[in-house]
Amino acid sequence: MFKKDNLETPSNKVDTLIGKDTYLKGSISGKGLIRIDGEVEGSISTKGDFIIGESGKVSAELKARNITIAGYYKGTLEAEGKLELKKTATASGAFKANKLLIEQGAVLSGNLEMEHKEQTVAGSLKQAPGADAATREWNYETSGSAPSEEEKSVGVFSEKPKE
49: DSSP letter: -
Q: Is residue 11 part of a domain?
A: no
Q: Is residue 163 part of a domain?
A: no
Q: For the chain, how many structural domains are there in total?
A: 1
The range of the structural domain enclosing residue 131 comes to 16-157
> Are the CB atoms for 83 and 102 separated by under 8 Å?
no
pLDDT digits 0-9 by tens, 55-97: 999 999 999 999 999 999 999 999 999 999 999 999 999 999 9
> Which has more confidence, 106 or 150?
106
* CA-closest candidate to residue 72, choices 81, 32, 62: 62
pTM above 0.75, yes or no: no
Q: Is residue 4 part of a domain?
A: no
Q: How high is the pLDDT of residue 124?
A: 54
Q: Is residue 144 part of a domain?
A: yes
pLDDT band at 123 (very low <50, low <70, confident <90, very high): low
CA dihedral 58, 3, 12, 33 (to 10 degrees): -30
In SS3 terms, 57-94 reads as: EEEEEEEECCEEECCEEEEEEEECCEEEECCCCEEEEE
Q: How high is the pLDDT of residue 12?
A: 53
- In this prediction, residues 152-156 reach a mean pLDDT of 40
